[in-house]
Amino acid sequence: KIIIKDGGSPQGIGEPSVYHAVVVIFLEFFAWGLLTTPMLTVLHQTFPQHTFLMNGLIHGVKGLLSFLSAPLIGALSDVWGRKSFLLLTVFFTCAPIPLMKISPWWYFAVISMSGVFAVTFSVIFAYVADITQEHERSTAYGLVSATFAASLVTSPAIGAYLSVAYGDTLVVILATAIALLDICFILVAVPESLPEKMRPASWGAPISWEQADPFASLRKVGQDSTVLLICITVFLSYLPEAGQYSSFFLYLRQVIGFSSETVAAFIAVVGILSILAQTVVLGILMRSIGNKNTILLGLGFQILQLAWYGFGSQPWMMWAAGAVAAMSSITFPAISAIVSRNADPDQQGVVQGMITGIRGLCNGLGPALYGFVFYLFHVELSDTDGSEKGSAIIPGPPFLFGACSVLLSLLVALFIPEHTGTGSRPGAYKKHSNGAQSHSHSPQGSGAEGKEPLLEDSSV
């Protein structure tokens, strides 16, 4: 079903490489990082009465749409090529940026709907998988991960400085210009990694709708007890983490009283500490206390961090909890490692696809849950510079809900076996591997590729 023929040289500058993917990711998320400070201001000005609730709904709709569309876009990119879908995802992801100053209502509406195409990472992983050998792939995904982290560590601080010095309008114009530069780079410089000679013969037939089903892998969760325990652990621990990411900077700015510059510095410091934790500290812990104990330790740090955020009302408490949050980032690389050890090579994509699907679902449910809990406990803002934090016994109720969820996750993780014989895996995985692998961010065929996308996602 594959036409092999000569010709079809990729358009672009040079041969397809990981560096093309790195530049695309860096420019896209650098543009969005610049808007961290202006977006918090516009969000409160647009929704002064129910800021946290609307923030949760906006990010929740975006996350759910991304979860539903990611497998389909991955399957379509196997047929129509990566370059066209890189262009499509970057364009629609960055489309809301200029609307921030034109019409805030349209800005937030388009952000929600852009979730349908906000799956640049899925296409980037496929692009990298096309052009790398299996033994090179882990390093390549690590490079993409480090680039993503670097863009979000540096850009909020730059955006905050420019906003104070020159106003929000300049920041929005600069972010728009960088997004346009990214689109032009894809058009001109990025070569197609999946040339026409390697595409299926028919453009209509080869799309597997089982691959495009976002719930396909989730339906297979209960087929193995170890995988079921891991998936429950991931769901209970990542649900509060996804909600926290969507609302925490707004919480720091409006409830705790951080300035724009302090929020940017907080992002940078926690980001750098997280990178150190996932490289230096993670390696030491894995060698000294083992895989399972590293997971339990990471979950313990996450409980402490969320409880500290929930009860803390002073800026120094947030900084201390941020350092603990950096240590909690070791959990998901450790989970990825234990999955890769407990599954046969041809089952990696299946199991990792389940975990990726659960995390995608949490990206939609978590923000909505946090926004709803803020609303239930009347954590609202009385004005732009202050809040009603003195009227509540618990400053951050959603963080305490999150701590309880992670505590349940810790109890479940206690029953995960440290080592499982790979021969005990049920044969059903192999039979369904094609359908479930679509949830791995790398939609390529080999099952062993499944582990790197989760490592990448956890590094982010």
Task: Kindly list the domain boundaries of the chain, sorted by start residue.
Answer: 11-192, 217-380+395-416
Q: How far apart are CA 127 and CA 45, in angstroms?
A: 40
Mean local confidence (pLDDT), 143-159: 79
| 3-class DSSP assignment, residue 174 | helix
Q: Is the dihedral of CA 62, 218, 342, 306 positive or negative?
A: positive
Average pLDDT, the chain: 75
Q: What are phi and psi of 200, to 5 degrees?
A: -60, 155
Which percentage of the chain shows pLDDT scores above 70? Answer: 74
Q: Is the dihedral of CA 91, 459, 272, 365 positive or negative?
A: positive
Residue 66 tokens read as 């991304």
- Return all residues near 17 (Cβ < 8 A) that are at least 6 apart: 131
Q: What is the pTM of this model?
A: 0.70
Mean local confidence (pLDDT), 230-236: 88
User: In sequence order, what are the beta bridge partners of 2?
Assistant: 200
Q: Is 381 exposed, middle or buried (0-12, 13-18, 19+ CB in 10 A)?
A: buried
Q: Do domains 11-192 and 217-380+395-416 have the same CATH topology?
A: yes
Report how far apart the first and last C-alpha atoms of the chain are (Å, whole number).
Answer: 37
| Per-residue pLDDT, 422 | 43
Q: Is 206 exposed, middle or buried (0-12, 13-18, 19+ CB in 10 A)?
A: middle
Which range has highest mean pLDDT (8-17, 124-133, 409-418, 422-431)?
A: 409-418
What superfamily does domain 11-192 belong to in CATH? Answer: MFS general substrate transporter like domains (1.20.1250.20)
- What pLDDT band is residue 257 in, cutting at 50, 70 and 90? confident
Name the fold adopted by 217-380+395-416. Answer: Growth Hormone; Chain: A; (1.20.1250)
| Per-residue pLDDT, 277 | 83
- Cα distances (angstroms) measured from residue 400 to each of 39, 181, 189, 413: 26, 42, 48, 20
User: In sequence order, what are the beta bridge partners of 200?
Assistant: 2
Mean local confidence (pLDDT), 16-39: 87
Q: What are phi and psi of 2, to 5 degrees?
A: -110, 130
pLDDT tens digit string along 54-66? 888 888 888 888 8
Answer for the pair 35, 171: CB distance below 8 angstroms, yes or no.
yes
